[in-house]
């Protein structure tokens, strides 16, 4: 039996902590085969973004066409795209191959962990107008949700929920807004889906500085969706509910969040950078460590 297959359309990040490198490691850790279409080259380290270089739109489109035309894809994850031209190309490719891409998860990457912009204003507008109506799951941060809607940053859980519902109305069946920027003892993520709204809580760890958590979370969601699609029988994977049940997306997201939390918790002893400080990577090797 073939493994679940997931395509990531994302930036190649030089230090391996985020982007398609984080996606591919996540897919492997969760038992899925990963394919990729590079959207942008990003020279990034734990300490800064040195430069971002979106690829020509036709190069990005050509990669997606090739993969979608050959591989049996069960899910697709879209990450940083960098420019309006690349967003246009990806949206056109999604429309052309929609029945071959499986469930689509969009992580609308706009700003790096260092605070550097990763997409132009025109690109952000294209994301909102062209890609949101085409995807199944959207996973913005609070800041990205506000930017996509042209609204101020939410200041309460209720405002996050309102923004998540507004984004859901633009097309995605499920929207997960991560709430790290909201003050409080716990980090509260808000998930709106076809079954309603759920608040997902996690203990806040002061002083923790990691990069790639957002990419890993959306990649883990895509991997879980691919596992369901590949087996084509929700309810037989143990942790997923009966086909069509309202708790499927809640369970999938909760499982993805657990993977991110474990990958974050188990990286304390890593010393990869020659310099102190900065934003370190997650430990995507945790499933190998437990083998």
84-104 tens-digit pLDDT = 999 999 999 999 999 999 999
Domain contains 167: yes
Q: What is the DSSP letter of 203?
A: E
For residue 94, the domain's CATH number is: 3.40.1190.20
Tokens read off for 7: 């395509």
Other beta carbons less than 10 A from residue 133's beta carbon? 13
Residues of the chain below pLDDT 50: 233-247, 291
pLDDT at 78: 98
| SS3 of the chain: helix, strand, coil, percent, to 5 | 40, 20, 40
pLDDT at 206: 60
pLDDT at 117: 66
* Distance between CA atoms of residues 229 and 40, nearest Å: 28
Spatial contact of 130 and 91, defined as CB atoms under 8 Å apart: yes
Which of 136, 166, 134 shows the shortest CA–CA distance to 148? 166
pLDDT at 76: 98
Domain contains 276: no
Tell me the β-bridge partners of 54: 40
pLDDT at 18: 86
Domain contains 283: no
Within the chain, residue ranges assigned H as helices are 19-29, 57-70, 84-97, 121-126, 142-149, 157-168, 213-231, 248-265, 286-289
Domain contains 287: no
**Which residues form the domain of 157?**
5-267
pLDDT at 81: 94
Q: What is the DSSP letter of 152?
A: P
Domain contains 286: no
Domain contains 90: yes
Chain mean position to CA 113: 14
Count of CA atoms in the C-beta half-sphere (13 A) of 148: 33
Domain contains 240: yes
Domain contains 113: yes
Summarize pLDDT for 118-132 with one digit per residue, the tens.
Answer: 677 888 889 999 999
Between the alpha carbon of residue 187 and those of residues 55, 157, 206, 233, the distances in Å are 35, 10, 11, 33
Largest CA distance in the chain: 49
pLDDT at 185: 72
Number of domains in the chain: 1
Summarize pLDDT for 224-260 with one digit per residue, the tens.
Answer: 999 886 555 444 444 444 444 444 899 999 999 998 8
pLDDT at 47: 66
pLDDT at 77: 98
pLDDT at 234: 44
Count of CA atoms in the C-beta half-sphere (13 A) of 130: 20
């Amino acid at each position: 039996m073939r493994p679940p297959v997931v395509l990531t359309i994302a930036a190649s990040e030089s230090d391996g902590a985020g982007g398609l490198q984080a996606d591919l490691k996540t897919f492997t850790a969760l038992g899925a085969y990963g394919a990729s279409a590079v959207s942008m080259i990003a020279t990034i380290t734990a300490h800064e973004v040195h430069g971002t270089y979106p690829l020509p739109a036709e190069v990005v489109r050509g990669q997606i066409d090739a993969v979608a035309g050959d591989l049996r894809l069960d899910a697709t994850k879209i990450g940083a795209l960098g420019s309006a031209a690349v967003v246009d190309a990806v949206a056109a490719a999604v429309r052309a191959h929609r029945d071959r891409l499986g469930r689509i998860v969009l992580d609308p990457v706009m700003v790096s962990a260092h605070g550097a912009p990763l997409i132009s204003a025109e690109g952000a507008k294209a994301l909102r107008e062209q890609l949101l109506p085409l995807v199944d799951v959207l996973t913005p941060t609070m800041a990205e949700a506000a930017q996509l809607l042209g609204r101020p940053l939410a200041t309460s859980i209720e405002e996050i929920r309102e923004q998540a519902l507004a984004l859901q109305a633009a097309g995605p069946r499920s929207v997960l807004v991560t709430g790290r920027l909201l003050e409080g003892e716990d980090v509260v993520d808000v998930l709106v889906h076809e079954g309603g709204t759920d608040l997902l809580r996690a203990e806040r760890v002061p002083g923790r500085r990691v990069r790639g958590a957002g990419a890993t979370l959306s990649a883990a969601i895509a991997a879980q969706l691919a596992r369901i699609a590949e087996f084509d029988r929700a309810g037989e994977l143990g942790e997923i509910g009966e086909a069509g049940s309202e708790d499927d997306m809640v369970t999938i997201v909760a499982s993805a969040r657990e993977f991110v939390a474990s990958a974050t918790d188990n990286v304390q002893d890593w010393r990869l950078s020659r310099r102190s400080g900065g934003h370190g990577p997650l430990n995507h090797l945790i499933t190998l460590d437990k083998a």
